[in-house]
Amino acid sequence: MAVETKQELNPKTTHFEFSGPIGAFVLTFGLPLLVNVLCVCCTKEGCSLAPSHIIAQWKKTPFLTAEVYKVYLLWLAALALADLIVPGQIVDGTELRNGQRLKYKFNGTRVIAILGALLLSRGVATNWQLPELQFIYTNLTQLANASIVTSFAISTYLYISSFFGNKLLALGGNSHNVFYDFFMGRELNPRIGKLDLKLFLEMRPGLLLWVLIDLAMVHHQWLTYGRVSASIVLVTLFQGYYVIEGTFYEAGLVSMIDTTLDGLGFMLVFGDISLVPFTYSLQTRFLADNFVELSWLQIALITSVYLLGIAVFRLSNNEKNKFKQGKTNPGEYTYIETKTGSKLLTSGWWGMARHINYTGDWISSWAYSLPCGFNLVPYYYVVYFGVLLVHRESRDEAKCAAKYGETWTEYKRRVPYKFFPYLL
């Protein structure tokens, strides 16, 4: 009887994504290779993906030394400790399939303030030589490999531990195929004591390292050229704002599909701690050694693209959050009531396109790459992020179709565009 209940709660996954186990296997080993390629492709001579260039760079770069790994583990441990001891806002999670509601603590702004204060005090103490930032620049590939090794270690722990105790599993990560489940993640919300591993990994070690890598690149440019370019300052400000602003709204994470739908496996762990910091910073890495000047007109145009994107992204996300929390005035919006009781907005931003928030996010990604000029490699992010969002849209679409049935079909009739009103 108990076994039956467990099986009902955690049914076997029959619908596969990423072309099933073979796709999951290829991604598990292919994505770390991609990170290693993108870490070394941009040098003083420019940016190139030519195999001869990449192999030549790899020959010059140690894979991972014990010293760098120790520093990386210290970074992780310090952030985990900060997550646990720094006070924060307590927020109720969404109701889970087993009726449970987890509690989350969000202390991102305080952790960022502590990190910023530490960095400033180190700057003053070292006359702005900041050996920590120089360490990041010099050992970037090794740090990336440290994060990759750690991703495999954490994912292995998560996979094994998911078999012990009465765990709530992700509907998409319980196929009984080891490669697939390792990649997709079996357990929905794994915790070690009070540390929620999913939200910790999503918000701290990767995102904050992304900002630190950008700062290390700015610092390197300053040490090399004696001044910094507007292009690298723009990218660092845009990306820094995206990360810091994200922590102001991090309580909204409780309803994100990563939190409510995905298991914590290699896909999320690696994405959070390796792919984000080491590939999203590609533009500043390029600019650190390639001084790109921008005219005032170019600065104004690129900034406008960023502001447009970030405004659409933030206003649409805020509108949905406000609506879901019942904080809108009666009659302010039109909506459809679903059989589950939740409502789907059909006016405002959400009347324009079903994933207008993704569109805003993608538009701002252009502003990260445009300051790099005509070299195509730094535009990797625009392409990668576009693919990620299109794939994410299809997953969310499948989730909502299954959850809301006919009502979702009606919603699609009323809001026919996915990303761009009247276009797509």
Binding residues for ligand NDP (CB under 6 A) = 255-257, 313, 317, 320, 342, 344-345, 350, 357-358, 361, 392, 396, 399-400, 403
Among 252, 144, 157, 242, which residue's Cα sits nearest to residue 195?
157
Give how far Cα 221 sits from Cα of 47, 164, 239, 387, 409, Å.
Answer: 16, 50, 17, 31, 53
Amino acid identity, residue 81? L
The sign of the dihedral angle between the CA atoms of 78, 81, 86, 87 is positive
In angstroms, give the least distance from the CB of 100 to ligand NDP.
Answer: 17
Nearer to ligand NDP, 147 or 290 (CB): 147
Nearer to ligand NDP, 132 or 396 (CB): 396
Among 93, 419, 109, 73, which residue's Cα sits nearest to residue 244?
109
| Joined tokens for residue 103 | 């509690």
Nearer to ligand NDP, 172 or 229 (CB): 172
Rounded Cα gap, residues 6 and 133, in angstroms:
49
Helices (runs of H) and strands (runs of E) counted in the chain: 20, 8
User: Taking the C-alpha atoms of 243, 245, 248 and 251 in order, what is their torsion angle to the nearest 10 degrees?
Assistant: -60
In angstroms, give the least distance from the CB of 330 to ligand NDP.
Answer: 17
Amino acid identity, residue 132? E
Nearer to ligand NDP, 168 or 345 (CB): 345
Rounded Cα gap, residues 140 and 35, in angstroms:
11
In angstroms, give the least distance from the CB of 223 to ligand NDP.
Answer: 30
Nearer to ligand NDP, 273 or 344 (CB): 344
| Joined tokens for residue 4 | 């039956």
In angstroms, give the least distance from the CB of 162 to ligand NDP.
Answer: 23
Nearer to ligand NDP, 83 or 319 (CB): 319
DSSP 333: S
Amino acid identity, residue 186? R
Nearer to ligand NDP, 161 or 346 (CB): 346
In angstroms, give the least distance from the CB of 185 to ligand NDP.
Answer: 15
Rounded Cα gap, residues 61 and 36, in angstroms:
11
Rounded Cα gap, residues 242 and 301, in angstroms:
19
| Phi (first) and psi of residue 42, to 5 degrees | -100, 115
Rounded Cα gap, residues 262 and 201, in angstroms:
14
In angstroms, give the least distance from the CB of 339 to ligand NDP.
Answer: 12
In angstroms, give the least distance from the CB of 113 to ligand NDP.
Answer: 22
Nearer to ligand NDP, 119 or 256 (CB): 256
In angstroms, give the least distance from the CB of 48 to ligand NDP.
Answer: 25
| Phi (first) and psi of residue 341, to 5 degrees | 100, -20
In angstroms, give the least distance from the CB of 283 to ligand NDP.
Answer: 14
Nearer to ligand NDP, 208 or 344 (CB): 344
Rounded Cα gap, residues 57 and 40, in angstroms:
6
